[in-house]
Amino acid sequence: MMKALITTTLIVFGLQGFAQRNQLIELNNGSQIKGKIIDTNEQQTKIETRDGSVWVFQSNEIAKIGSYVPKVSSTGVYSRASLGILGGENFSPSFQLTNGYSFNSHWDLGMTVGVETVFWDWYVPTLVQGRFNLLDRHFTPFVDVAAGYMAPFRNWDNDKGGFTCGGALGITKFVSNRMGITTSVGYRYARMVELSPWWDDFRTIRQLNRIELRFAITFK
Amino acid sequence: MAGFASCDKTTNHFMCYEPVYTDAETFRTAASFEAPKTITKDGNIYFKDNYLFIVEPNKGIHFIDNSDPANPNNTGFLNVMGASGLAIKGDYLYITALVDLVIVDVSNFNNPTEIKREEEIFPTALPLMEKNYPTTTIDKSLGIVTDWTVTETTEEVNDFPVWIGCFECETLTTFSASNGASAESGSGGTTGVSGSYALMTIKDDYLYVIDNNRLKPISISNPTELQVSDDVYLSWNVETIFPHGDHLYMGTTTGMMIYNTVDPSQPQWQGSISHARACDPVVVQGNYAYVTVRSAGWCGGDINQLDVVNITDKSNPYLVESFEMNDPHGVGIDGNTLFVCDGDQGLKVFNAENPSKAGDELIKRFGNIDAVDIIPINGVAMVIAEDGLFQYDYSDPENLSLISSIKF
């Protein structure tokens, strides 16, 4: 749990730093300079770009000063890599890769594969994942639903894996036209079936309930 | 997340055996020889003096006159409650009947007569179980467990365990004494030949009965006054026993063990060879043991093969070669002809002239039976299968043929 908090903190501070460098000066000639504004007054404005250069513009050259807003494509394919932690009766790591398609600025549909542990056993979840982005903006809350199958990584004879489904609420922020970062909190259910290697006709069914905390990077 | 700590739910769904008790008086009703009955289930087989005996598990023994293997004649049924295995020496038939050992005079195969019963000689014996299900608690004060009823059980458990037993269940080992594919030997009367699924055999003047991890030597020098020696504790769970020469060969779930019978009342361990967890009937001929290693159900493991083991040095047996099989059960050998009952792949017949290549030298496969165990003797292979008794003529191994069958 402590690790998750530290990770969250680092990401929040990272985002703040990122936001400071995400300012934009539009010049009268149509040029745009993105960076961190380090000084501004009535006569001039200084902006430091990502490569460390400092540019100084006279106020009469500047048409507008504002924040950089990515222009994210509302349709097209996307890929998402996420790292998460599943918490409940035990804590376990989760890594997932999703490839999918954005039908419009709100609806995404993708296929997810990953690796996760349930107690001491590794599984490969294969999920169909749908997402509804609430806002038509580069920064939007979303609702996720997913369902699929947890296939065991080993011991196929006895461990049959099982159905899994879940939902999550989260926030996506695109930091460039093609890359966004996401954090979400959700719930996962799994119904795992295991056959006894010793007794005949002996099934153990485990119904798992997990809270899922996840961080992801999306490429569009 | 802490609130979720106890939200997982683990449920075991399983079948469980519940004991059916019979009072001692009823259980010990003298064995009676009745009119022939239809054989309903594959049990252990035994051959002596042209008679084939088939155990009807928990019920009794079918007597089949096999003088003409092409026309086996079911002559009668010996009703013995709890019967699971048999061995014959001279005029005496020894039957393991749950906790008792029953001695039957078979000087006349048409009129077998119970003459004695050694009571409670196998105190932990239980009826045969068709499936490997756990049992509920057994209360011996209620009588002798003579049968089972199967109940479907669902049980919620608290932990996230690897299941090792069932709540309030006791897993006493099933006692399934039977007779082995062995050419038994003895003085004071001839013995018969049994299939390879043997937990009971006769060597010289001793009857040896396996009870899970114990070997019980019983002197039968006086056939009606048995002398029971102390149990010999075996290190592994033993499933089959085969006598050869001065040794007893025992198939276990984890390997084959060799015990010498220098002191027949207390056989001593001499050597062993281990394999992965599986079931393994064994037969011996010359300097080689043929072991079928099977993985299924309660056998555990994940291998199915025929192992050929060199036993020239009984203290250091070693694996010569392994041959992949499908679902090998019983095994038998006569001369250079090796038989493997390979489950639903039927009966496989190999040329074992070169034991190290035996499994590669398939002569013929009879694939239309679910073969379980076999006695090959005098050119006739008697095969007990899931659905019948089948007999094959192998006097010419290159020209094997089915000569008769009795379907269950």
Q: Report CB contact under 8 Å: A209, B13.
A: no
Look at residue A21 in the predicted model and tell me its pLDDT: 67
Query: Which residues in chain B have their CB less than 8 angstroms from residue A1's CB?
Result: 1
Q: Where along chain A do its domains lie?
A: 2-67, 76-219
A68, exposed or middle or buried, with CB in 10 Å at 0-12, 13-18, 19+?
Answer: middle
Q: Enter the DSSP assignment of B231.
A: P
Give the minimum alpha-carbon distance from A157 to chain B in angstroms, rounded to a whole number: 9
Q: How far is A13 from chain B (nearest CA, A)?
A: 25
In DSSP terms, which residues pair with A141 in a beta bridge?
A: A171
Residue B199 neighbours by CB distance under 10 Å: 26
Q: Which of B17, B27, B23 is nearest to B142 (CA)?
A: B23
Q: B337 - beta bridge partners?
A: B334, B351
Q: Which of A219, A69, A65 is nearest to A136 (CA)?
A: A69
- Does A84 have pLDDT greater than 50? yes
- Indicate the CATH number for domain B10-274: 2.130.10
Pick the CATH number of A2-67 from 3.40.50.300, 2.30.30.100, 3.40.30.10, 2.102.10.10: 2.30.30.100
Report, as ranges of residue numbers, the positions in chain B whose pLDDT lies below 70.
1-6, 159-189, 236, 275-279, 296-302
pTM, to two decimals: 0.69
Give which of A199, A209, A212 to mutate to test B binding, by max B Cβ within 10 Å. Answer: A199
Please state which CATH number belongs to domain B288-408: 2.130.10.10
Measure A76 CA to nearest chain B CA, in Å. Answer: 36
Chain A with chain B: Cβ pairs closer than 8 A: 75
What per-residue confidence (pLDDT) applies to B161? Answer: 41
Chain A CB contacts of B303 under 8 Å are none
Residue of B nearest to A186 (CA): B1
Other residues' Cβ atoms within 10 Å of the Cβ of residue A31? 11
Distance from CA of B189 to the nearest CA of A (A): 42
The yes/no answer on whether domain A76-219 falls in CATH 2.40.160.20 is: yes
What is the pLDDT at residue A7? 52
- Vertex A184: Cα angle to A180 and A190 (nearest 5): 125
Q: Please spell the DSSP secondary structure of B287-317, one letter per residue.
A: TEEEEEEB-SGGG-SS--EEEEEE-SSTTS-
Q: What is the mean pLDDT of residues A18-22?
A: 61
Per-residue CA distances from B49 to B66, B75, B265, B267, B390 (Å): 9, 14, 28, 29, 19
Matching CATH topology for B10-274 and B288-408? yes
The pair phi, psi for residue B373, each rounded to 5°, is -150, 165
> Which pLDDT belongs to residue B91?
93
What are the boundaries of each domain within chain B?
A: 10-274, 288-408
* Confidence band, pLDDT 50/70/90 cuts, at residue A20: low
Tokens matching residue B352: 């074992």
The phi-psi region of residue B188 (left if phi > 0; otherwise alpha if psi is between -120 and 50; otherwise beta) is left
Q: Which of A104, A83, A70 is nearest to A180 (CA)?
A: A70
Residue A211 sits at the chain B interface (C-beta within 8 Å): yes
Q: Decide if pLDDT at A126 tops 70.
A: yes
Q: Which amino acid is at A57?
A: F
A196 has a chain B CB within 8 A of its CB: yes
Report the residue of chain A nearest B297, measured CA to CA.
A200
Q: How far apart are CA A155 and CA A1, in angstroms?
A: 30
User: Residues with Cβ < 8 Å from A92, sequence gap 6 or more?
Assistant: A85, A86, A116, A117, A118, A119
Could you give phi then psi for residue A49, rounded to 5 degrees? -85, 175
Output phi, psi for B33, to 5 deg.
-95, 125
Q: What is the CA radius of gyration of chain B?
A: 21
Answer yes or no: is the ipTM higher than 0.85. no
User: By C-alpha distance, which of A187, A50, A207 is closest to B12?
Assistant: A207
Q: Give the per-residue pLDDT at B170.
A: 38
HEC states along A72-132?
CCCCEEEEEEEEEEEECCCCEEEEEEEEEEECCCCEEEEEEEEEEEECCEEEEEEEEEEEE
d(CA B404, CA B398): 19
